[in-house]
Chains A and B, each alone.
Chain A
Amino acid sequence: MAVKSDLVISLKGIVNRFGQQVLHDGLDLDVKRGEVIGIVGGSGTGKSVLMRTIIGLNRQAAGTITVLGQRMDQLSDADRTRIEARWGVLFQNGALFSSLTVAENVQAPMREHTDLQPRLMDELAALKIRLSGLPADAGAKYPSQLSGGMKKRAGLARALALDPDILFLDEPTAGLDPIGAAEFDQLIRNLQRSLGLTVVMITHDLDSLVAICDRIGILIDRRIRVGTLADHLKDEHPWIKEYFHGPRARAAGIGV
């Protein structure tokens, strides 16, 4: 099961289309173990669709997806569930189950995939809640009693419930104030280091890109261009130039 391969996710020739509109056409992407990869792109270039395709919420029209050494389209349902237990997903607004408390939200994947005793499950949920930077008493609260930033942290705690190998984040810092966003970046970086996570993160936040991403994938012309920040700064593509040399990029201290 624990294949120590360096490639955690490998996409080959992914095609996604909706009606006449082609979003991805022959997209290839490799994600290495232990890296933080940021995915950027203009509106409508299919960042979220790409993430949903990898985690199986959207079926690609063509191409293959290999996660942790397993071809996703060739797996039986049971094997698929086993792979799904090894990734955690943080949706844009947390997607917490509104009828459950935060602690119950964190325990939901544990109940489904493990046979832990209730006492140990309570303790582990409390640990994840604290690791995500929430106060201890947040566990008893319902999602509607939390602020936007706290919902994201609670969503992160749930994504970490089963100690995943891979963490998918959809715009983790969107809607947070700059201080909260910087804290969240640091939190993800810390957790990534201490838990040895591989992180795939969709973001528009240039500060996050600089602060925590090892590599950046840019969705452009229906493909993805992956490289370090330094590689992209040399890129002559007009959109990429605009993106990394625009006023906001300068404010974030890149492309100067």
Chain B
Amino acid sequence: MDFISILTIFVLACFIGYYVVWAVTPALHTPLMAVTNAISSVIIVGALVASAAAGVPGAKWLGLLAVVLASINIFGGFAVTARMLAMYKKKER
């Protein structure tokens, strides 16, 4: 993809983010931070690319370390979000 197509996707995604996040109820702002944390670890994609490639050992080890860090975030982030969301209960009637 050329730079302009990528930029287009980015700008449109910013707008989607703007509207979606304003719709989040304030009661769930902490889970919002936890889950955004987890999904921003999609940076693991870059880490995997680096650690999959042979040839430059330095790059590979940096990549593997990044995979570990991003995995902590992905598993930890989604799990802690799930734990928090499970606590929100409606009044029993």
Question: Are A and B co-members of a single complex?
Answer: no
Question: Which residues of A pack against B, CB within 8 Å?
Answer: none
Q: Mark B residues whose CB is within 8 Å of A.
A: none
